[in-house]
Amino acid sequence: MITPREDTNAMRALQGLEDDSSSVRLQSALAVGTAPDPGFIGKLIERCAIEPEFYVREMLTWALTRHAASMTVPVLVDEVRSGRAQARSQALHTLSKIGDRRAWPAITPALLSDADDEVARSAWRAAVVLVPEGEEHELAVALAAQLGRGERETQLSLSRALIALGEVMLPTLGAATTDPDPRVRAHAVATERLWRDPDAGFEFAIEEAKRVVALGGAGQEGR
């Protein structure tokens, strides 16, 4: 049973999530996660959608993971349909941290190809965590359709997601090394190189891949 003092502390923590000071918001999120209560979930998710500071968002996500998945996952699944990009991205990020595969149906093709790079990256990360056994190939195909997209950070996120799927992604990735689009080919070749040599670094891999593609190698070198 919550005592009046505990209830006051809870209300203070919830109010602190809206404070102008990011350090106060951080401490409030920590407090809420330290003493989880179902009544906090809605406010935490609401704040995730608008919180401007990365490290505060991470604490909000941590606070949500401290609550029962049976109570957070349905609300987060609703949130991935939000019209606000940050809401979708943070909900997907939180689902990836919770790791409950009941959320898998929420990872739609639309999210995997979301026009917002941050949303798409969060969807890729969540997908490789939540994908059910036996559906990895279909996910690899969906992810490979995004090869060549965006700048280095986005491309590295996609490469990591594909690599996280393991060997099941290799045939799909191999096919992408002959794609008509040179950006797709270079990204596929770079991902293959990272698969073979994780210590090579993405910058090196992508520059080498561009060289191979320019020379017409299409990733065949070393295969």
Tens-level pLDDT at each residue, the chain (223 residues): 334 345 666 778 888 999 999 999 999 999 999 999 999 999 999 999 999 999 999 999 999 999 999 999 999 999 999 999 999 999 999 999 999 999 999 999 999 999 999 999 999 999 999 999 999 999 999 999 999 999 989 999 999 999 999 999 999 999 999 999 999 999 999 999 899 888 766 666 666 666 666 666 544 444 3
In contact, 187 and 150? CB cutoff 8 Å:
no
Smallest Cα–Cα separation from 189: which of 213, 167, 153? 213
Domains identified in the chain and CATH numbers: 1-67 (1.25.10.10), 143-223 (no CATH)
The number of beta carbons lying within 10 Å of the beta carbon of residue 159 is 25
Type of residue found at 112: L
Per DSSP, the three-state class of 54 is: helix
pTM score, whole prediction: 0.86
**Separation of alpha carbons 98 and 71, rounded Å:** 12
